[in-house]
Amino acid sequence: MGSLNGIKILDLTRVLAGPYATMVLGDMGAEIIKVEMPERGDDSRFFGPHINGESAYFMSINRNKKSMTLNLKTQEGKEILQELVKKCDVIVENFRPGTMEKLGLGYDEIRKVNPRIIYAASSGFGHSGPYSKRPAYDAVVQAMGGIMSITGHDMPTRVGASIGDITAGLFTTIGILSALYNRNLTGEGQKVDVAMLDCQVAILENAIARYLVSGEIPGPKGNRHPSIVPFENFETSDGEIMIAIGNDNLWKKFCMIAHREELIEDEKYKSNPLRNENYESLKIIMDKIMEEKTTEEWQHIFDEEGIPNSPINSVDKVIENEQVKSREMIVEVDHRVAGKTKIPGIPIKMSKTPGKIEKAAPTLGEHTKEILEKYLTYDEEYINELRNNGVI
């Protein structure tokens, strides 16, 4: 049994931020009822690559869910959703603010149906403020939220993963869990409002701290750390390796194994602030040292001495990494259409209530009949009528 066993979540989300949040909750045992538009479904079902017509992108973030189709533009569809709200603990949506209100399904209406409901909304800019109604995608909030301005080398660069969406998904998950805990104490539901832009600001950590203290606007520094030296990738005799010498003790260790003991007490490099101040001259020294051995040789030496390091792995090497495999971070699932496929595993390891990937992502509307029969006790004749009328 997962830690969220018994929690029922009505999932109206699509694409990435919302589905990522509900995927995490589903991994932890919650029952996820994914509501999609008839015939079309989640937009990400059309994102490639595809396997036998099924999107690998969609499958990677919609495991452990049941899919039902429901047309919320019809009166019957709205009524069905409200009936399902009565049976659920959480409703999650990531429409542009105002969309659910136009449908008559905003938080104020939903809580009338179920006062204990947790209503979680993830959007680009949140449900308040002058930008609230603006559309947003990951690249937009990465640009607006500042993270692009401190990423890359000579020009602003988008982070390779969709960190704007994913951080919003994770913060939405935290908000939902916090609201569920509070409901256990008070019996009351509440609204959880998460903005992608807010999340980008929240994770800027030392960039904001540096600006507020110094007044200097941070810029991109490539792969080096903005305040710890040496903390970046270096070329070896046959490749590259990332090292993270995060304190003065590690610096002393490095100097000893590099046979450069004189650097330990060098007035230019003996402390991290001094190494920052004299970065350019130290970089020349480090480059020469690191070119003396292969990546594998340095990795072995650093591992023996406890100095954090890693070669810069491409995705194929990540998939085959022994630690990744040991922690079951690449798992195989059996999809009813795509067949056996591999997807990322569950990163949260719990000793008593571990998460579990019980089923692959659903096909569109795969569980519509099951949900209507189980939760609303509709008979087959009425379900067929709803289907013929375009409600499901």
The model's pLDDT over 247-297, given as tens digits with 9 standing for 90+, comes to 999 999 999 999 999 999 999 999 999 999 999 999 999 999 999 999 999
DSSP letter for each residue of 135-181: ---HHHHHHHTSGGGGSSSSS----SS-HHHHHHHHHHHHHHHHHHH
Residues with a known catalytic role: 165
CA distance 243 to 209: 24
Report which of 131, 152, 150, 149 is spatially closest to residue 198, judged by C-alpha positions: 131
CA distance 35 to 295: 49
65-69 vs 31-36, strand pairing mode: parallel
Q: Is the pLDDT of residue 154 over 90?
A: no
The model's pLDDT over 109-132, given as tens digits with 9 standing for 90+, comes to 999 999 999 999 999 999 999 999
The model's pLDDT over 51-79, given as tens digits with 9 standing for 90+, comes to 999 999 999 999 999 999 999 999 999 99
The model's pLDDT over 316-367, given as tens digits with 9 standing for 90+, comes to 999 999 999 999 999 999 999 999 999 999 999 999 999 999 999 999 999 9
Phi and psi (nearest 5°) for 350? Answer: -120, 135
Q: Which domains, ranges and CATH numbers included, belong to the chain? A: 8-203+323-388 (3.40.50.10540), 231-313 (3.30.1540.10)
pLDDT of residue 66: 98
DSSP letter for each residue of 169-218: HHHHHHHHHHHHHHHHHHS--EEEEEEHHHHHHHT-THHHHHHHHH-PPP
In the structure encoding, which two tokens stand for residue 88, read together? 């659920």
Residues 6+ apart with CB under 8 A from 183: 116, 118, 189, 190
Strand order in the sheet with 190-195: 65-69, 31-36, 8-11, 90-93, 118-123, 190-195
CA distance 279 to 304: 26
CA distance 383 to 375: 13
Q: What is the pTM of this model?
A: 0.93
The rounded radius of gyration (Å) of the Cα atoms in the chain is 25
Letter string b/e over residues 16-47, b meaning 16 or more CB atoms within 10 A of that residue's CB: bbbbbbbbbbbbbbbbbbbbbbbeebbebbee
CA distance 62 to 333: 12
Report which of 71, 66, 61 is spatially closest to residue 8, judged by C-alpha positions: 66
CA distance 159 to 138: 10
